[in-house]
Structure 1
Amino acid sequence: MATIWVVLIALLALIAGVALGFFIARKYMMNYLKKNPPINEQMLRTLMMQMGQKPSQKKINQMMRAMSNQVDKK
């Protein structure tokens, strides 16, 4: 009977640890991506030039704002 309780407690601790670890890792990654966005203005400017577009500062600001809004919605 005691082994059943030990196994049950071990399973509950494992499930709680996995859930807690997932949420901590998710929060950490969201904060990291907010502070260090994957694309910056220079990368966007280079990408637009490679696609054959002449990047104006207004268009780059517009695209950066749209990407920032997309991240904030999630």
Structure 2
Amino acid sequence: MSTWLVVLVAVIALLAGIALGFFIARKYMMSYLKKNPPINEQMLRMMMMQMGQKPSQKKINQMMNAMNKNMK
């Protein structure tokens, strides 16, 4: 009877650890991406210039707003 109890506690602890680890990692990544966005205005401006477009500040602001809106 005690081996079943040990196995049950081990399985419950494993599942709780997996769930807790997932939520901690998710929260960490969300805060990291909020502090360090993958694309900033300078990168966007360089990409547009490489594609042969002359980026205006209005166009860059529109694209940044659209990206920020999609991240939320």
Higher RCO (CA 8 Å, separation ≥ 6 residues):
1
Which residues of 2 match residues 1-74 of structure 1 at below 5 A?
A: 1-72=1-72
TM normalised by structure 1 equals 0.94
TM normalised by structure 2 equals 0.97
Superposition CA RMSD, Å: 0.5
- 4+ residue stretches of structure 1 with deviation over 6 A? none
Query: Letter of the aligned partner of 1:23 in structure 2?
Result: F
- Structure 1 residue runs without a partner (length 5+): none
* Whole-angstrom distance in 2 between the partners of 1:4 and 1:32: 42
**Cα offsets for 1:20-73 (capped at 9, x unmatched):** 00001001101110111000000000000111110001100110010000111x
